[in-house]
Chains A and B, each alone.
Chain A
Amino acid sequence: MELERGKGREAMRKGYFSLVLHAHLPYIRHEEAHRLEERWMYEAISETYIPLLWEVDRLSRPLGWTVSISPPVIEMLADPLIQERYIEHIEDTLRLIRQELKRELAQKERDALLFYQDRYQDLLNTFLHWEKDLNRAFRHYKEQGYLDLITCTATHGFSPHMLSEQAARSEIQTGLNCFERHYGFRPTGLWMPECAYTPGLDRILYEEGIRYTFVDEHSILNADPSPKHGIGAPVYSPHGVALFPRDQIISGKIWSSVIGYPGHPDYREFYRDLAYDREWDQIAEFMHPEGLRYDTGLKLHRVTGETDQKDYYVRDWAWQRTSEHAADFAQALGEHLDAHQGQNFPPFLVTAPFDAELFGHWWFEGPDFLGKAMERLEDQGIESISPAIFLERHFQDIDTAHVAMGTWGRKGYAEVWINERNDWMIRHLHQLEKRLAGVVARNRHQDALTVKAKRQLIREYLLAVSSDWPFILDGQTTAQYAANRFREHILRFEETERRLDAEELTVEWLDDRYREYPFLQDSDIEPDVFLTAHDYYVAVKREKSWNTDAILLFVRQYDASDRPASELARRLAAAGENVYVVTEHPEAYRFEEGVHVYGVQVTGLPLVQTYNQLAALNLAFLRQAQALSKIVDFAVIHNFNMETASAAQAIAKMKELPLVSNVYDVESERSPDRSGGLVVALKRLEGDALRQSAVVYLEREESRHGVEQEYHVEKKPLRFEENLEKPYQHVTNPKKNG
Chain B
Amino acid sequence: MGMLEQIIKMKEQGLTTKQIAAQLDTTEGKIKYAWTKYRKSLTEQPSVAAPKVKSKTVKQTKKSTAPVLDVVPSVQVVPSLERDAFGMATHYEDDILHAIVQSPTALYVYWELSELSKQLLETHYHTTFDSFRKELRIIDVTLVEYEQGQANRTYQFELPEMTNAWFVRPVAPNTTYIIEWGIQTIDGDFVPVLRSKPVETPRDEPVTDGRFAEVVHHWQYGEVEQPEWVEVLRPYSYFDRVR
Chain A positions within 8 Å of B, measured between CB atoms, are 31-34, 81, 85, 88, 92, 159-168, 198-201, 203-204, 218, 221-226, 238, 285, 289-291, 400-402, 404-406, 411, 413-415, 418-420, 423, 426-428, 430-431, 433-435, 437-439, 441-445, 487, 490-492, 494-495, 497-498, 500-503, 532, 534-535, 538-540, 542, 544, 547-548, 588-589, 591, 596, 598, 603-609, 611-612, 614-616, 618-619, 622-624, 626-633, 645-647, 649-651, 653-655, 677, 681, 684-685, 688
Closest to B214 in A: A225
In B48-77, the 8 Å CB interface with A consists of 53, 56, 58, 60, 65, 67-77
CB-defined contacts of A630 to chain B, threshold 8 Å: 75, 238-239, 242
A518 to B29 alpha-carbon distance, docked (Å) = 31
Whether the Cβ atoms of A166 and B235 lie closer than 8 Å is yes
- Distance (Å) between the CB of B150 and the closest chain A CB? 9
Residue of B74, B110, B216 near A631 (CB, 8 A) is B74
Closest to B103 in A: A413
Residues A418 and B234 in contact in the complex (CB < 8 Å), given A226-B210, A443-B69, A603-B147: no
Residues A618 and B124 in contact in the complex (CB < 8 Å), given A201-B233, A503-B67: yes
CB-defined contacts of B191 to chain A, threshold 8 Å: 607, 612, 615-616, 619
Residues A165 and B219 in contact in the complex (CB < 8 Å), given A405-B101, A589-B243, A685-B124: no
In B10-43, the 8 Å CB interface with A consists of 11-19, 28-29, 31-32, 35-36, 39
Write out, one digit per residue, whether chain B residues 122-161 have a CB within 8 A of any chain A CB (1) or not (0).
0111100000000000010000001111010010000000
A-B contact pairs, 20 of them (CB 8 A): A33-B14, A33-B15, A159-B233, A163-B236, A165-B236, A199-B231, A400-B216, A404-B203, A405-B200, A428-B89, A442-B72, A547-B73, A589-B243, A609-B189, A614-B124, A616-B192, A632-B74, A632-B242, A647-B120, A653-B123
CB-defined contacts of B147 to chain A, threshold 8 Å: 603-604
- Kindly state whether residue B171 has any CB partner on chain A within 8 Å: no
CB-defined contacts of B6 to chain A, threshold 8 Å: none
Closest to B137 in A: A605
Other A-B pairs, 8, CB within 8 Å; known A441-B237, A442-B67, A603-B148: A34-B17, A163-B236, A165-B236, A400-B220, A428-B89, A431-B92, A605-B154, A630-B238
Residue of A198, A415, A591, A623 near B232 (CB, 8 A) is A198
CB-defined contacts of A498 to chain B, threshold 8 Å: 58, 60, 78
Residues A225 and B216 in contact in the complex (CB < 8 Å), given A434-B238, A498-B60, A604-B180: yes
Residues A414 and B100 in contact in the complex (CB < 8 Å), given A224-B203, A615-B121: yes
A548 to B74 alpha-carbon distance, docked (Å) = 8
Residue of A166, A434, A540, A685 near B71 (CB, 8 A) is A540
Closest to A426 in B: B110
CB-defined contacts of B28 to chain A, threshold 8 Å: 285
The 7 closest A-B pairs by CB, nearest first: A200-B231, A404-B202, A224-B210, A164-B236, A646-B124, A402-B212, A627-B241
A547 to B239 alpha-carbon distance, docked (Å) = 13
CB-defined contacts of B16 to chain A, threshold 8 Å: 33-34, 85, 88
Residue of B87, B123, B165, B193 near A688 (CB, 8 A) is B123
Whether the Cβ atoms of A165 and B149 lie closer than 8 Å is no
A430 to B58 alpha-carbon distance, docked (Å) = 18
- Kindly state whether residue B5 has any CB partner on chain A within 8 Å: no
Residues A681 and B149 in contact in the complex (CB < 8 Å), given A501-B77, A540-B71, A616-B192: no
Residues A497 and B78 in contact in the complex (CB < 8 Å), given A605-B149, A650-B119, A681-B126: yes
A688 to B228 alpha-carbon distance, docked (Å) = 47
CB-defined contacts of B36 to chain A, threshold 8 Å: 289-291
Whether the Cβ atoms of B210 and A534 lie closer than 8 Å is no
- Kindly state whether residue B46 has any CB partner on chain A within 8 Å: no
Residue of B95, B193, B230 near A199 (CB, 8 A) is B230
Residues A222 and B212 in contact in the complex (CB < 8 Å), given A494-B58, A616-B192: no
- Distance (Å) between the CB of B226 and the closest chain A CB? 10
Whether the Cβ atoms of B229 and A609 lie closer than 8 Å is no
Whether the Cβ atoms of B35 and A547 lie closer than 8 Å is no
A514 to B88 alpha-carbon distance, docked (Å) = 22
Whether the Cβ atoms of B74 and A31 lie closer than 8 Å is no
CB-defined contacts of A591 to chain B, threshold 8 Å: 243
Whether the Cβ atoms of B189 and A413 lie closer than 8 Å is no
Residue of A400, A445, A677 near B70 (CB, 8 A) is A445
Whether the Cβ atoms of B102 and A413 lie closer than 8 Å is yes
Residue of A405, A494, A615 near B202 (CB, 8 A) is A405
Closest to B139 in A: A605
- Distance (Å) between the CB of A593 and the closest chain B CB? 16
A626 to B117 alpha-carbon distance, docked (Å) = 10
- Distance (Å) between the CB of A360 and the closest chain B CB? 25
Residues A441 and B72 in contact in the complex (CB < 8 Å), given A535-B237, A630-B242: yes
Whether the Cβ atoms of B123 and A225 lie closer than 8 Å is no
Whether the Cβ atoms of B126 and A684 lie closer than 8 Å is yes
A221 to B205 alpha-carbon distance, docked (Å) = 8
Residue of A413, A445, A492, A654 near B119 (CB, 8 A) is A654
Residues A426 and B73 in contact in the complex (CB < 8 Å), given A434-B238, A596-B243, A646-B124: no
CB-defined contacts of A88 to chain B, threshold 8 Å: 16, 18
CB-defined contacts of B89 to chain A, threshold 8 Å: 428, 431
- Distance (Å) between the CB of B235 and the closest chain A CB? 5
Residue of A491, A501, A605, A655 near B151 (CB, 8 A) is A605
CB-defined contacts of B139 to chain A, threshold 8 Å: 605
A449 to B31 alpha-carbon distance, docked (Å) = 41
Residues A623 and B200 in contact in the complex (CB < 8 Å), given A225-B213, A428-B89, A490-B88: no
Whether the Cβ atoms of B100 and A160 lie closer than 8 Å is yes
CB-defined contacts of B212 to chain A, threshold 8 Å: 224-225, 401-402
- Distance (Å) between the CB of B57 and the closest chain A CB? 9
A200 to B101 alpha-carbon distance, docked (Å) = 14
Residues A414 and B102 in contact in the complex (CB < 8 Å), given A165-B236, A434-B94: yes
Closest to A490 in B: B88
CB-defined contacts of A622 to chain B, threshold 8 Å: 116-117, 120
A606 to B189 alpha-carbon distance, docked (Å) = 9
- Kindly state whether residue B240 has any CB partner on chain A within 8 Å: yes
CB-defined contacts of A161 to chain B, threshold 8 Å: 100
Whether the Cβ atoms of B95 and A631 lie closer than 8 Å is no
CB-defined contacts of B94 to chain A, threshold 8 Å: 431, 434
Closest to B36 in A: A290
A168 to B233 alpha-carbon distance, docked (Å) = 7
- Distance (Å) between the CB of B99 and the closest chain A CB? 10
CB-defined contacts of B104 to chain A, threshold 8 Å: 413
- Kindly state whether residue B82 has any CB partner on chain A within 8 Å: no
Closest to B32 in A: A289
Whether the Cβ atoms of A438 and B77 lie closer than 8 Å is yes
Whether the Cβ atoms of B239 and A631 lie closer than 8 Å is yes
Residues A534 and B237 in contact in the complex (CB < 8 Å), given A604-B149, A627-B242: yes
- Distance (Å) between the CB of B230 and the closest chain A CB? 7
Write out, one digit per residue, whether chain B residues 80-98 have a CB within 8 A of any chain A CB (1) or not (0).
0000001111001011101
Whether the Cβ atoms of B102 and A419 lie closer than 8 Å is yes
In B205-222, the 8 Å CB interface with A consists of 205-208, 210-213, 215-216, 219-220
A655 to B63 alpha-carbon distance, docked (Å) = 10
CB-defined contacts of B180 to chain A, threshold 8 Å: 604
Whether the Cβ atoms of B14 and A32 lie closer than 8 Å is yes
Whether the Cβ atoms of A411 and B239 lie closer than 8 Å is no
Closest to A649 in B: B123
A535 to B112 alpha-carbon distance, docked (Å) = 23
A650 to B95 alpha-carbon distance, docked (Å) = 15
Whether the Cβ atoms of B239 and A618 lie closer than 8 Å is no
Whether the Cβ atoms of B75 and A442 lie closer than 8 Å is yes
CB-defined contacts of B237 to chain A, threshold 8 Å: 437, 441, 532, 534-535
- Distance (Å) between the CB of B208 and the closest chain A CB? 8
Whether the Cβ atoms of B77 and A162 lie closer than 8 Å is no
CB-defined contacts of B73 to chain A, threshold 8 Å: 544, 547-548, 633
Residue of A168, A225, A604 near B207 (CB, 8 A) is A225
CB-defined contacts of B227 to chain A, threshold 8 Å: 199-200, 238
A162 to B187 alpha-carbon distance, docked (Å) = 38
